[in-house]
Homo-oligomer: A and B are copies of this chain.
Amino acid sequence: MVTGQGPVTITDVARLAGVSPGTASKALNGRRGISAGTALRVQQAAERLGYQPNALARGLLSGRSFTVGLITTDSFGRFSIPVVQGAEDALGPGRILVFLCESRDDRLREEHYLRALLERRVDGIIVTGRRQDRREPIGRDLRIPVVYAMAYSSDPADLSLVPDDEEGGALAIRHLLGTGRTTIGHVTGPRRFRAAVLRAAGAEQALTAAGLGLAGSRTLYGEWTEEWGRRGVDLLLRSAPGLDAIFCGNDQIARGAADRLREVGRRVPADVALVGFDNWDVIAAACRPPLTTVDMNLRQLGRAAGERLLAAVDGHPGSGLQLLPCSLVVRESSRPPESRSP
């Protein structure tokens, strides 16, 4: 590479190769109607000068910027990260670049970001947020496609992708039933979280389908914390002393539950099986014993968001609230009693 003043333009390359800019352009873009010799000379000239095509100029001409915006309200929390990663997967390393915009739940910041994205002529926007809270559409008449992930738009004409929390709850219960548990309690987060309610609904439905009910007869709503997990165990043991499993609304609650069960002398999983939700590795793996938990497959959700956005950019838009499958990650905390190693 030769060090000169300012970025190298295609005109510089053309001059060095002894051709016109138009010809250089064709050669570099593999257009046909160029002799092999010329093509080679242009390639070499570009190489020598370290030529990088100016994407701004290209975008101006083509009307596409090969750029998308990613607006997250979640302060980039632990749920947004895998979604973002998945989206990047779908968009490819360097093919389409992602503008990161953290709105931090601030409407004004969001507007600023939206304007900035529109000015930069992004090809589309992904909106992601905390759990699957319903939210206002990001803007009206945007003329570019938008996909919501995790958070979902209140406008059903928009495409929103969210994990199927209800099915996730059912998954947890069916697993416990399948490993011989019958008296199952449920401790979860605050009732105002849609996710908590949906998971509980899925759990209760799965129990009902098996002709059973919830141990302690009702879902214990509380906080998303270990502290609440510990207290939840105390409450459950009082109302349902014979319980043999607890499904927890997230991994922190489950971890608190595991600690408490150990403290009161109940063995996990021998006496009581435990299933969490989120598959948050630091928690689930550090739990004693390691935690069986429901994974929302957020990375795949992010990837799906990226793919759906690309499809929309190519003229194949989608719409509606779409549920993506959760899956179960089985670890030690729910091992059936029969198969315990000696």
Question: Closest CB-CB distance, A63 to chain B, in whole Å?
Answer: 7
A225 at the interface (CB under 8 A from B): yes
Question: Closest CB-CB distance, A341 to chain B, in whole Å?
Answer: 19
Q: Which residues of B contact A227 (CB under 8 A)?
A: 286
Name the segment of A1-9, A22-30, A178-186 touching the other chain: A1-9
Q: How far is the CA of A286 from the CA of B287 in the complex (A)?
A: 13
Instruction: Say which size band chain A's interface belongs to.
Output: 35 or more
Q: How far is the CA of A88 from the CA of B259 in the complex (A)?
A: 39
Write out, one digit per residue, whether chain A residues 83-96 have a CB within 8 A of any chain B CB (1) or not (0): 01100100001110
Interface centre among A1, A119, A141, by most chain B C-beta atoms within 10 angstroms, is A119
Partner of A116, one of B1, B70, B97, B102: B97
Name the residue of chain B whose CB is nearest to the CB of A67. Answer: B120
Name the residue of chain B whose CB is nearest to the CB of A252. Answer: B286
Is the beta-carbon distance between B85 and A121 smaller than 8 angstroms?
no
Q: Which residues of B contact A54 (CB under 8 A)?
A: 60, 119, 121
Write out, one digit per residue, whether chain A residues 252-282 have a CB within 8 A of any chain B CB (1) or not (0): 1000000100000000000000000000001
Q: Which residues of B contact A117 (CB under 8 A)?
A: 97
Q: Which residues of B contact A85 (CB under 8 A)?
A: 75-76, 102
Is the beta-carbon distance between B121 and A93 smaller than 8 angstroms?
no
A59 at the interface (CB under 8 A from B): yes
9 nearest CB pairs, A to B: A94-B116, A94-B112, A100-B100, A55-B119, A55-B120, A93-B109, A93-B112, A56-B59, A97-B99
A-side residues, CB < 8 A to B, are: 1, 3, 6-7, 50, 52-57, 59-60, 63, 65, 67, 70, 75-76, 81, 84-85, 88, 93-95, 97-103, 109, 112-113, 115-121, 140-141, 143, 225-227, 252, 259, 282-283, 286
